[in-house]
Structure formats: structure tokens, C-alpha cells
Amino acid sequence: MLLAEGLTKRFSGLTAVDNATLRAEQGAITGLIGPNGAGKTTLFAMASGFLKADAGRVSFAGEDVTATPPHMRAEAGMARTFQIVQPFAGLSVRENIAVGAFLRTPSRAEAMARADAVGRRLGLGPDLDRAAAGLTVAGRKRLELARALATEPRLLLLDEVLAGLNPSEIRDILPVIRAIRDEGVTILMIEHIMQAVMNLCETVYVLNQGRMIAEGPPAQVCEDPMVIEAYLGKGAAARMRADAGGAAHV
């Protein structure tokens, strides 16, 4: 559904993303992880058209969209959430969701009906008539997801949609994300919460200092020495092996 090949983005003297390639297979949930500052959101921004890549190519559903602006990618079925959630504070929750629904219909009645259905599906039913400004962090995260889902995407890019949620809120939203995939929406997600990555993703890519350093099933990636060192520092993988060997010997 999505193929990003050799994407590179430079900001003055800083190379934020360096020749990164990833693939999101149709009907799957694919994860993108890495330490803070690794370049994950920059990669997302290039994939969704919000940043122009300095090099590389983006294909969506077999079509080259490298030069296609974000609104046309949205019309084609690509939607994304943002790491920093910014709802239209003066609008109700229902009206916020309807903003996304207007992509598919000019009818206010149809957009509102779509917003109502999506909001209830994501657990926002009791809040539909509230001002978006009054939502909790968890509520705002659900609203961000609802606005994207209201565009009826084929591909959904989730940028840390679980950040700021407590364990019970995370537990509640995992089946919601899985259900979205089960209804035919391909998902590519940036996530720091490994519980979610292990539970949801079939394939995980790891970005560190702008470079893709690993890919594969979550359990395999988590044991990769390069990934361990990216998160815990140089020499961490060797120390962990030594500690494990010592424990086994005891």
C-alpha cells in the first residue's frame, strides 16, 4: 500500500532522514520505532506529502505520489494523525470529526452523520456535543484518530497516537486500532510504547539517527544488537549478553 524508497531530508547541515526505505503491506499494521530525534516524524511527513524529500520516492497503492500534495493524497485515501494534537477548540467534537468527513461529501447532514458514527465507534459518543477544548488527553487522541478515520482512508499513518495515555487507556484503544485494520485499512504507526508494538504490528522498522537499522517481526527486532544499542547506548548489547550468561551459569 505504501512504499518509501531512499527518502532523504536535510535541514541546513543536519541530515534528519538518510536514504530510508520502508514498506507498508496492504491490510497489515506496520510499526516504525526508534529513539527520540531519530527522524520518524520527518519520514512520516515526507510519506504524507507535508515535507518535500530531497531524494527518494514515495508510492501509494502502486502510484508514484512523490510530488503529490497532501490534500490530493488524502483524496486518494491516505490519512495521518499528528504527534501534537490540535483540535478546533471552538467546535464540538462532532464538528471536528465532520471536518474530515467533508472530504467525501459536500452535504452537512451526511458529514454530521458520518462524524456521529465514527465518534461513537471510537468511544466518543458521550462527548460528541462537547467543545473539543474540554476533552482529556485520551479524548483528544481519540478525536485525532476519528478525524483521520472520517476521511475514509485506505492507509492510515498514526504518529504516536498512544502517547500520554495511561495503561488502561492504552489497553482500551489497542482493540480499536486492530478493528480498523480488520475492516480493511492499512496502518503504519510510529510508537514508543512497546506493548502496543508487540501486540499490533506484524513488521517493525527501526530508525536511528535518520538511518534504517533493522526491520522484521517485533520479537526479532527487539533482540537485534543494533536496536538495543540505539536505545541503551554503545556496548549495551554485549553487557546484556554477559549478564544473561552469568545468570545462566548461576
How far apart CA 119 and CA 122 sit, in angstroms, is: 5
Please report, for the chain, the start and end positions of each structural domain, with discontinuous segments joined by +.
1-77+154-218, 81-152
How far apart CA 238 and CA 226 sit, in angstroms, is: 11
Q: Helix or strand or coil: residue 217?
A: coil
pTM over 0.95: no
> Does residue 245 have a pLDDT over 70?
no
pLDDT at 35: 87
Which tens digits make up the pLDDT trace of 124-153? Answer: 999 999 999 999 888 898 999 999 999 999
Q: Is 216 exposed, middle or buried (0-12, 13-18, 19+ CB in 10 A)?
A: middle
- Which CATH fold topology does 1-77+154-218 show? Rossmann fold (3.40.50)
pLDDT at 243: 54
Q: Which helix (H) or strand (E) holds 23?
A: strand 14-24
CB count within 10 Å of CB 178 equals 14
pLDDT at 250: 35
> Does residue 249 have a pLDDT over 80?
no
